[in-house]
Amino acid sequence: MKEYKRETVSKIISLVNKNILLPDIQRPFVWDEQQVYKLFDSLMRGYPISTFLFWDLTIEQLEATEEKENLRIKMYKFVDSNEKDNEEELNRDRDTYSLVLDGQQRLTSLFIALKGTWRKKIRRATVTQELYFDTLSGCNEDEDGILYKFQFLDKTNGFNKIETEDSDHSLAVWVSVKQIYEKDIGAAQKRKDFVADIIKSDDRLTDFSAPIDNNIDLFNDVLKEDGVINYFPEDETDYEKVLDIFVRTNAGGTKLGYSDLLFSKIKLRWTDARDKFKELSDSINKHNFDFDTDFLLKTCLTIFSTKSEEVRYSVSNLSDTLIDKIVSQWDLITRATQRTVGLLETFLITDKKQLPSYNALIPIIYWHFKAQRKEYRQESYIDSKDIGTIRVWLTKALLSGAFSGQSDTTLYKCKDAIDNSGTVTFPALNIQQNIKRSMEVTEESFDSITYKSKESYLFLSLCYKMAINFQPITKGNLPEQDHIFSRDELQKAGVPSEKINSIYNIRYVTANDNRSKSNTPFSEWMKCLSEKNKKDVVFKTHLIPDGYLSADRFDEFLLARKNELLKQIEY
């Protein structure tokens, strides 16, 4: 019976992008900084970091499997930066390979920390960082439960950085993790010389040589001496069985969605799937949207479904026949998706916050797919009517929440309505009748919209006639939601939170304006505006009714502003 093997971090990292690679069924690196920090804290504390699963095979087995299955098993390199994409490994000059089926995120984190860099936007600049270890940590946990502190810092700090904590004036001695990893400091004297280089950088460190030495000794052992990597070497050569192992192993993960697992089956039969899906998602995410594999896969399932059950994320729904259809009609799928997302800019929906349901776009994509529409002609009455019908339908679908709940059933009913409509323009009425769900937007539905709720951004955008710039040049001009009567003032007056957060008490302002107003009471804020001769402009812009100065008339204010906002709603 096969058994788990143990190896040091150093040994495993030395084989990454040589013998240790990623199979095509893996997804991109998605961990954030905090997850990396917790991983290293766990290693320092001697906690298990779970097991790894490697698919071990010789080059002869790899080639034999490819010939038997009539496919090419693509292998990808680990990224050495969080902003990079995995590149295919085209060379096959190794006798044996280990392809990581489980543990990619952990192993990539280790590789970036020990061999690569972390890229992060700070203000408007992108800074290249490396991982540092606070060699004076390890005595007390912080509020996040971290005992040994690690942090990505600007790589220009070099060997180390000394900081003073503001709260208790304690020192933090950050030392480059790469330096500890790359130096031969296993022997006591070599480590002593290494610590001496740290101590001499700041006179305040004279009395801290012992704890710094102990922590560096512990960290060096964790990386180079202790067998902390436990992995199972799977030698199965049947690719279908390997895929099943991958699905079973990863299905319990919190980050790996079920659609990711299903996508693995597509990649098994379509070797270009990774690139094709990425090309499409990149092309429709030019604005601040987050269309991902989930969305594209759900679109494909809907397009080719023959009953509502076939819209679900299910391995049984991804038959070889369906995958062949996706491959053969990918150009049409791409064109229909791009055409639909392109309409959003026409509708002045330019940010993901204004799009509370991505699924609401899928019926429109199917309409474009079925019609094989290449472009809209400005001079065409039919085309103009089609765009107008789609805009109204989409707005109602988004505001009414028609695609919440059992969206798979709703999506299939939309497809069925389109198939049986026989109309030359988008069959909005047929769809509404078929899904048997109200898409009417009433005052009651507006009343349920609250501060930062899914529908709030689109609702306010409509009230502001879509005159909101979600892509300003400077971050300070980003639109934010602001309470007209501040929460602080209303809470002190005993107003319940559901009224405080009513959409009728919310306006759009820039981030800078939001901070400057802060918790200023309404009457003081209005007085300040009057002194600067800005009151009339601000009240007109934000549809604020006049005459309500204090919180004791807040109910009257809400009703008056509701009337002002609803006068503006047009779609």
**Residue 225: which of 483, 380, 348, 43 has the closest Cα?**
43
Reported confidence tier of residue 27, pLDDT bands at 50, 70, 90? confident
**Residue 147: which of 6, 297, 44 has the closest Cα?**
44
Reported confidence tier of residue 256, pLDDT bands at 50, 70, 90? very low
CB of 368 closer than 8 Å to CB of 336: yes
Separation between Cα atoms, residue 100 and residue 97, nearest integer Å = 10
Buried/exposed 506-532: b ≥16 CB within 10 Å, e otherwise:
bbbbbbebbeebeeebbeebbeebeee
462-518: per-residue pLDDT in tens? 888 877 778 777 777 788 899 999 999 999 999 999 999 999 999 998 888 878 788
Three-class secondary structure of residue 355 per DSSP: coil
Side-chain-facing half-sphere of 254: CA atoms under 13 Å: 2
pLDDT the model gives residue 122: 79
pLDDT the model gives residue 437: 66
**Residue 86: which of 35, 27, 126, 33 has the closest Cα?**
27
**pLDDT higher than 50, residue 253:** no
4-23: per-residue pLDDT in tens? 899 999 999 999 999 999 98
Side-chain-facing half-sphere of 533: CA atoms under 13 Å: 0
Q: Read off the pTM.
A: 0.68
Reported confidence tier of residue 381, pLDDT bands at 50, 70, 90? confident
pLDDT the model gives residue 243: 72
Mean pLDDT of the chain: 88
What burial class does residue 144 get, using C-beta atoms within 10 Å of its C-beta: 0-12 exposed, 13-18 middle, 19+ buried? exposed
Over range 158-185, report the average pLDDT.
85
User: Vertex 475, ends 469 and 476: CA angle to 5°?
Assistant: 90
**pLDDT higher than 90, residue 142:** no
**pLDDT higher than 90, residue 401:** no
What beta strand segments (E) does 155-264 contain? Answer: 160-164, 171-176, 229-234
195-249: per-residue pLDDT in tens? 998 888 887 888 888 999 999 999 999 999 998 999 999 888 877 777 777 766 7
Tokens at 193, concatenated: 């010389």
Separation between Cα atoms, residue 336 and residue 325, nearest integer Å = 15
Three-class secondary structure of residue 291 per DSSP: coil
Over range 359-363, report the average pLDDT.
95
Sequence spans of domains, the chain:
5-115+227-240, 126-224, 257-441, 471-568
pLDDT the model gives residue 166: 55
pLDDT the model gives residue 496: 93
Separation between Cα atoms, residue 211 and residue 209, nearest integer Å = 6
From 12-16, 64-68, 410-414, 418-422, the region with the lowest mean pLDDT: 64-68
Q: What is the DSSP letter of 102?
A: E
pLDDT the model gives residue 261: 62
